[in-house]
Amino acid sequence: MTEPLTLVLIHGHGVDASIWNGIDADLVSVMPVLKPDFSRLTTRTTIEGYAEELMNYLRTVQAHRVVLVGHSMGGYMALAFAERYPALVAGLVLYHSTATADTAERKEQRQKTIGELREQGSAPFIEKQMPKMVAASYPAEKIEPLIDQYRALPANALAVGMTAIMGRPDRTHILREATVPMRLVLGKEDQVIPCEKTQQLADLSEQIDLALIDQAGHLSMVEQPEASVNALRSFLDRL
């Protein structure tokens, strides 16, 4: 008997599980949906550690075979999880995410940001970062509510999460050696992980396909919820 599938929506850095609230209700008709929240986690400093927290969560809720949708940092977690527990993964979506490691320049930028988080707290970081997480064309009056929603995330958790992001290895081999369906969902106006370079990862395996979302940056689940639902449902229909 085939194990039932569970869809796991893994949020990225600088937000929490509520980032999926605009689209998760439209996915539960396909399969059960879980939204673990790691936004306040301070005990893990590596992406592999976060992946272990995900495994602990899945054990607790007794989800045995999963489809992982990882947004940004959540995508790094999904790849680390798939590397360690490949038999549990029936499909994987990198949602505004990538499989490559940080460049030396990017690591230097992140180290500076970690220092600022520890010195200044979360609010200045969220205020600075949130406008970059949406498309340049996204209405300015809609950005402020997002800032208000996430400005109180714990600074220590944000710093620890960025430390894990900074230290992640290249995991393009997970895509190259894919044995289950995978999809890249990318915003055409993503200012954080530009789609022009990331979409090339779809060429690594015939198991991988690509969904580009118009008028979306790094948060298409908020910016373009209908298109985001369509990108995920059409992938789930393949499984």
On the question of pLDDT at 2 being above 90, the answer is no
Half-sphere exposure of 66 (CA within 13 A, CB side): 29
Would you call 113 exposed, middle or buried from its count of C-beta atoms within 10 A (0-12, 13-18, 19+)?
A: middle
**pLDDT at residue 3 in the model:** 81
Lookup result for tokens 């298409």: 220
Query: Which of 159, 157, 166, 152 has the alpha carbon at shortest distance from 115?
Result: 159
123-153 b/e (C-beta count within 10 Å ≥ 16 → b): eebbeebbbebbbeebeeeeeeebeeebeeb
CA distance 140 to 33: 31
For the chain, what are the domain ranges? 6-236
pLDDT (average), residues 95-112: 97
pLDDT (average), residues 40-61: 98
Count the residues in the chain. Answer: 239
Q: Each residue of 11-35: pLDDT tens digit?
A: 999 999 999 999 999 999 999 999 9
Q: Each residue of 179-203: pLDDT tens digit?
A: 999 999 999 999 999 999 899 999 9
Mean of the per-residue pLDDT values for the chain? 97
Strand 89-95 and strand 182-187: the pairing is: parallel
Q: At 95, which helix (H) or strand (E)?
A: strand 89-95
CATH tag for 6-236 (out of 3.40.50.720, 3.40.50.1820, 3.20.20.10, 1.10.1240.10): 3.40.50.1820
pLDDT (average), residues 51-68: 97
Q: Each residue of 207-235: pLDDT tens digit?
A: 999 999 999 999 999 999 999 999 999 99
| C-alpha distance across the termini of the chain, in Å | 16
pTM flag (> 0.75): yes
**pLDDT at residue 96 in the model:** 98
Share of the chain above pLDDT 70, in %: 100
Would you call 98 exposed, middle or buried from its count of C-beta atoms within 10 A (0-12, 13-18, 19+)?
A: buried
Task: List all residues 6 or more positions away from 61 whose beta carbon is below 8 Å from its beta carbon.
Answer: 34
Give, in order, the Cα–Cα distances in Å from 119 to each of 154, 156, 166, 178, 231: 13, 10, 19, 42, 40
